[in-house]
Amino acid sequence: MTTNAATDPMIGRMIDQRYRVRSRIARGGMATVYLATDVRLERRVAIKIMHGHLADDQAFRERFIQEARSAARLSHPNLVGVYDQGAEDDTAYIVMEYIPGITLRDLLQEHHALTPEQATDILRAVLAGLASAHRAGIVHRDLKPENVLLADDGRIKLGDFGLARATTANTATGAALLGTIAYLSPELVTRGAADSRSDIYALGIMLYEMLTGEQPYKGDQPMQIAYQHANDTVPAPSAAVPGVPPELDDLVAWATARDPEDRPRDARELLDHMSGNQQRATGQYRTAVLRPENATAILPAGGASPDSAPDTDDPTTVLDRTPADTRSPVRRGAPGPRRTGSQPGVLSPAGQRLADLSARRRKRGWIALAIVLVLVLAAGVVGWAFGPGPWGNVRIPEVTGKSVSQARQLLEAQGLQTARATATRFDAVVAKGQVSTTKPAADREVRKGTAVQIVVSDGPRLITLPAIVGQPVSTVTAALDDDFQLQDDQYEFSADAPKDTVIAATGVGTDGATVDLAQVQQYGERGPVTLTVSLGPVPDVAGKSVADATAALDAVGLTVGTQSAQFSDDVASGQVISQSVQDDPAKQGSAVDLVVSKGPAPIALPDVAGKTVRDATSTLEALGLEVKVPECTNILCRISDWKSVLPVTSTDPPAKSTVHRGDTITLAYDD
């Protein structure tokens, strides 16, 4: 639904000096939801504003505030987040996470029924969020497809906790049943009481509707449907749609049992049943630290390790490590015999010790030199191998925008391998068929010989366009801003479109040609969009003075062009007879030509002396003049047609005088 400031005064309003309302998203029984901008944090939010006629109802105000408090207590990826709550000028509001996308109701209206896989995927996501609420002690009480949001990026979120209550409250609602009648549990219908099992019943009805495309109970009156909830058993979905798995029939039957005691106690139990993983429910695991060659493993409680680790109460089991090998100490060889005495070549004890020390030093020097040479050689080999050699690192070159063959040549020139199969992805910048990126990405440093996959652009992702032409420019801008590149708006005067509504939208096609976006349903992501906005009709200045006409045109950005004068019997002198715009279509700065009245055209009074009164009268009246003839007093005039006989002697004013249409001419004659 779209609206503008003329029909909704909230559009454009700044709430609490922080939230700028941009457009309306939806309207419910208690409140209206708008798209707004948090100017402090510069992010888009959804803001729910309670209807003004409910502001004086204390019960409604408390229920509205309760929604904010209930939802703010919850934090889960499958629940819509609540950021803020407040009141301004007796208007209560809630600020929530903005989820662009559709509701489950929209999906069902489009596809009628979903596949079992789609239905279970949505149900699991809703159950995960609802389990978080039930764990916090919150019952939703208004589960229906309208409150399940399917985001454009694939996220599934549950929102609208407007009827939420603590699970321990379990109180009746009074005479009026809250929630949507199609999803009310039997205990809500009969006793007005609800707990977490009431939410499970609503989910069972939703699952039936997703699988079959329709609700199990129908009736002309709400009470007929309520009676069926309280007294009938929900049929199996496979009875309406053959092929539904028996497991889903059983799930619907379990969730929609008339007796709450026969249903799952909460969303967690139903979710665990669907996943079939009882270990996840217990949360018991053990960690075993294995030998180095076996790394680290996570063992389930009660399970045996690969090496049959002993079962102990300690959740951490350290397995034995292989003992290190023992080595015998190295024995040095005994020194050789020494020469002593004074015989030639025989050293003294002191000399012998000096000779032995020198020999040992020379031996260590040669060993050290050999070690250094080996290390230098090894370092050179390693440096070559990991540098210019086969094991060196290279930086992946930038190949974005090139053809696949060019990209392969550049990559292989760096010593890299290119995967035979290419991948594709949407790319709003790179033309279709050209390289969008690589895996790993450009500028990454990798080992030579690394396989690099080329990712080819599939062009921009096509996005379905909303209604554009005839919509308020603020609404269109908000709808297009996230997905496309909005160019500067163009403005034109239009006699057919109100001021500030869009009269045209253009983009650029893949071939560079201009595309009329009003004639297509989809357009490429991040594509440029130029909106043409109406300035309203060109002011009508006919009948105004030149000064007033100039001021009226100047007020809307138009100028006065040429001025021409023209006689007019209908428009007073000095006033505008007509106007014409030099440009088509007219834009701000365009010139408007004016035709200004000179008053009635002058007439040279003809000489009718000598004509009969009747002929003179006809001649003057044909010129648009009024004719006055004095009454004949001669007695003969009473017995004859004197106007056809008596000649005109003169006129007043006299002949050849300047007169104008409508002036009165008096005829004189002799009687």
- Supply the CATH number for residue 20's domain: 3.30.200.20
- Of 142, 195, 199, 427, the catalytic one is 142
Is the separation of the CB atoms in 319 and 332 below 8 Å? no
Query: pLDDT grade, residue 161 (50/70/90)?
Result: confident
Same domain, 445 and 584: no
CA–CA distance, 302 with 95 (Å, rounded to integer): 48
Q: What pLDDT shows up at residue 366? A: 77
Query: Span 303-311, mean pLDDT?
Result: 37
Q: Is residue 434 over pLDDT 70?
A: yes
Residue 141 region by backbone torsions, left for phi larger than 0, else alpha for psi between -120 and 50, else beta: left
Task: List the 43-50 sheet strands across, edge first.
Answer: 14-15, 19-27, 31-38, 43-50, 91-97, 82-88
**Local confidence band at 530 (pLDDT 50, 70, 90 cut-offs):** very high
Q: Does residue 54 lie in a domain region?
A: yes
More confident call, 56 vs 83: 83
Together in a domain, 472 and 438: no
Residues 621, 571 within the same domain: no
The reported pLDDT for the residue numbered 255 is: 97
- Among 568, 566, 570, 564, smallest CA distance to 592 is for 564
The answer to whether the CB of 446 falls within 8 A of the CB of 416 is: yes
- Do 124 and 242 belong to one domain? yes
What's the confidence (pLDDT) of residue 344? Answer: 43
Domain membership of residue 189 as a residue range: 101-276
Nearest Cα neighbor of 103 from 137, 73, 65, 145 is 145
434 and 577: one domain?
Answer: no
Q: Are residues 176 and 204 in the same domain?
A: yes
When pLDDT is averaged across residues 304-320 and rounded to a whole number, the result is: 36
**What is the average pLDDT across 162-184?**
52
pLDDT of the residue at 384: 61
CATH of the domain at 587: 3.30.10.20
Vertex 79 angle, CA 75 and 81, to 5°: 60
What is the pLDDT confidence band of residue 359, given thresholds at 50, 70 and 90? low
pLDDT at 529 over 50: yes
Domain edge (last residue) among 534, 556, 585: 534
Residue 354 lies in a domain: no
Residues 6 or more apart whose Cβ sits within 8 Å of residue 605: 625, 651, 653, 654, 655, 656, 657, 658, 659, 665
CB 495 within 8 A of CB 25: no
Confidence of residue 355 (pLDDT cuts 50, 70, 90): low
Tens-digit pLDDT profile for residues 460-518: 889 999 999 999 999 999 999 888 999 999 999 999 999 999 999 999 987 889 999 99
pLDDT band at 420 (very low <50, low <70, confident <90, very high): confident
pLDDT digits (tens, 9 = 90+) for 5-40: 446 788 889 998 899 999 998 887 778 899 999 999
In this structure, is residue 434 part of a structural domain? Answer: yes
The CA dihedral of 550, 554, 556, 562, to the nearest 10 degrees, is 60
Per-residue model confidence as pLDDT tens digits over 618-659: 999 999 999 999 988 887 787 788 888 889 999 999 999 999
135 and 70 within one domain: no
Q: Which of 70-74, 257-261, 430-434, 479-483 has the weakest average pLDDT?
A: 70-74
| Residues 225 and 112 reside in one and the same domain | yes
Domain boundary among 69, 97, 125: 97
- Residue-averaged pLDDT of the chain: 82
Phi and psi at residue 72, in whole multiples of 5°?
Answer: -70, -20
Do 227 and 159 fall into the same domain? yes
pLDDT at 164 over 60: no
Same domain, residue pair 647 and 553: no
Q: How confident is the model at residue 276 (pLDDT cuts 50, 70, 90)?
A: confident
Q: Is residue 61 part of a domain?
A: yes
CA dihedral 438, 440, 446, 450 (to 10 degrees): -70
Provide the percentage of residues in the chain whose pLDDT is more than 70: 81
End-of-domain residue from the set 276, 303, 328: 276
Report if pTM > 0.75. no
pLDDT, residue 482, reads 86
Active site includes 142?
yes
- Across 368-434, the runs of DSSP E, i.e. the strands, are 393-395, 417-418, 423-425
CA 238 to chain centre: 37
Q: Average of pLDDT values for 434-458?
A: 91
Q: In this structure, is residue 613 part of a structural domain?
A: yes
Mean per-residue pLDDT, 547-568: 95
Domain count, the chain: 6
355: in domain = no
Residue 230 lies in a domain: yes
Same domain? 251 vs 124? yes
pLDDT at 576: 97
In this predicted structure, what is the pLDDT of residue 387? 60
- Per DSSP, which regions of 219-295 are E strands? 285-289
Taking residues 81-93, what's their average pLDDT? 83
Would the pLDDT of 292 be above 60?
Answer: no
> For 230-247, what is each residue's pLDDT tens digit?
999 999 999 999 999 999
Q: 126 and 202: one domain?
A: yes
* Cβ proximity of 45 and 95 under 8 Å: yes
Q: pLDDT (tens digit, 9 = 90+) per residue, 194-204? A: 899 999 999 99
Tell me the mean pLDDT in the region 398-418: 92
Query: Tell me, what CATH number does 178's domain have?
Result: 1.10.510.10
More confident residue, 342 or 538: 538
Residue 513 placed within a domain: yes
Q: How many CB atoms lie within 10 A of CB 117?
A: 8
What integer pLDDT is reported at residue 332 of this predicted model? Answer: 35
Neighbours of 455 (CB within 10 A): 20
